[in-house]
Structure 1
């Protein structure tokens, strides 16, 4: 169940700690431009403001969910059903010939997870990336210093759940650890 608000004026605020927003952004013609989830819509929209399509946004609709997982499930369904113009993930067949474009993994991870840690399982579940492709490409990005390992969780299985974050490039062009 969600708590919904539709606004073109004041920005939405989180109704309770732990809630996550599912938002829809619309153009002046009423066309659905983008669907996403976040913890803080104002901060997320600031990130979107660098996108070439952002000037088209004139209206938004926000629905609050009790958790990021619940919002993520609703997001996947909404994107598949409503087909927003600028979403890539979950919008039809994102990868031609069932092949994942590994060169885009960093861009997709940055867009989806911002500066939050993510795991291979997040890449698979949130972005629809095949596990084997995610593993190969995340290891390549790690060797290039473009993502860094930021933690491990011990699971019941023998494999640890490793969390990564996108690295920020330094002025010398090398990647640095993510900002706290």
Structure 2
């Protein structure tokens, strides 16, 4: 989902230069600080991934241009450390270093969401320090292990992960790549049509075959579906609906393909007597 904002005007690109931008709300609170070589693309990401947090609150933006990206990045970090933007997650004070002069802890609404969603954030009792993407990946793996995410079910979209964990879309994508590498989820499709699903492991398949109501693998068939199958199918359908509402250009053919890839093909033709 994207959210328009009539208060914000996108400046034209300046080839070879990097923009440092600051978004403010109507009380002049600093919401978010960032750098980009292409404001149009970067702010399109904000319209989508910050739609449920700070983007609708923004009423003005300032933009300063720099000839060197390194210079813009250094000032971005300084602004985050000293001006306490509400929704930046990166660049915040770390317990592993001394605070710089003038630095103060950021309120960071996103960081509070991150800590809550991951059960402790960077540091969980009894575990070593972990990066944001690792914390997100481990939390999703726990969802899979506990059954909150069922085998064969679609993964939450990038937008859903951003809104749940309060992280950037790049952090969410790194977490997804870690889960793929660990065999917890698997990609289906290619390019912009790639979707991710919880891996069907051998134990999951054995459970399906030994259930009280057997299911014919690869078909919805004449035999009844169990509860896990029904939830997996609903998850695929609702994911398709969400993508359609986000304007991602999906159609019924995409839905059919994802159902078939998950092992839920069309009903077999009725047999004559």
TM-score bucket (shorter structure) = 0.5 to 0.7
Give the strand-richer structure, 1 or 2.
Answer: 1
Q: Greater Rg, structure 1 or structure 2? A: 2
Aligned to 2:136: 104
Over 3 Å counting, the alpha-carbon distance change for 1:54 and 1:9 in structure 2 is closer
Q: Verify the 8 A CA contact 1:21 1:65 in the aligned structure 2.
A: yes
Aligned to 1:39: 37
Aligned to 1:74: 75
- For structure 2, the 5+ residue unaligned runs are 1-6, 95-110, 112-120, 138-160, 186-190, 199-273
Q: Deviations over 1:107-148 (max 9, x none)?
A: 656347x9xxxxxxxxxxxxxxxxxxx9xx7983562589xx
- For 1:49, what is the secondary structure of its paired residue? helix
**Inter-partner Cα distance in structure 1 for 2:40 and 2:196:** 32
**Inter-partner Cα distance in structure 1 for 2:12 and 2:177:** 37
**Inter-partner Cα distance in structure 2 for 1:142 and 1:67:** 36
Over 3 Å counting, the alpha-carbon distance change for 1:65 and 1:142 in structure 2 is farther
**Inter-partner Cα distance in structure 2 for 1:11 and 1:172:** 33
1:80-91 equivalence runs, <5 A: 80-91=81-92
Give the helix-richer structure, 1 or 2.
Answer: 2
**Inter-partner Cα distance in structure 1 for 2:23 and 2:66:** 17
Please, what TM-score do these two structures have when normalized by structure 1? Answer: 0.55
Give the C-alpha shift of residue 63 in structure 1. 0.8
Q: Looking at both structures, which has the greater relative contact order when contacts are Cα pairs under 8 Å and sequence separation is at least 6?
A: 1
Q: Over aligned residues, Cα RMSD in angstroms?
A: 3.8
Over 3 Å counting, the alpha-carbon distance change for 1:86 and 1:172 in structure 2 is closer
Find the partner of 2:24 among 26, 42, 45: 26
Over 3 Å counting, the alpha-carbon distance change for 1:104 and 1:65 in structure 2 is farther
Q: Verify the 8 A CA contact 1:25 1:33 in the aligned structure 2.
A: yes
Give the C-alpha shift of residue 9 in structure 1. 6.1
- For structure 1, the 5+ residue unaligned runs are 1-7, 115-133, 147-166, 175-180
Q: Verify the 8 A CA contact 1:83 1:92 in the aligned structure 2.
A: no
Aligned to 1:170: 194
Number of aligned pairs?
127
- For 1:99, what is the secondary structure of its paired residue? coil
- For 1:21, what is the secondary structure of its paired residue? strand
- For 1:87, what is the secondary structure of its paired residue? coil
Please, what TM-score do these two structures have when normalized by structure 2? Answer: 0.38
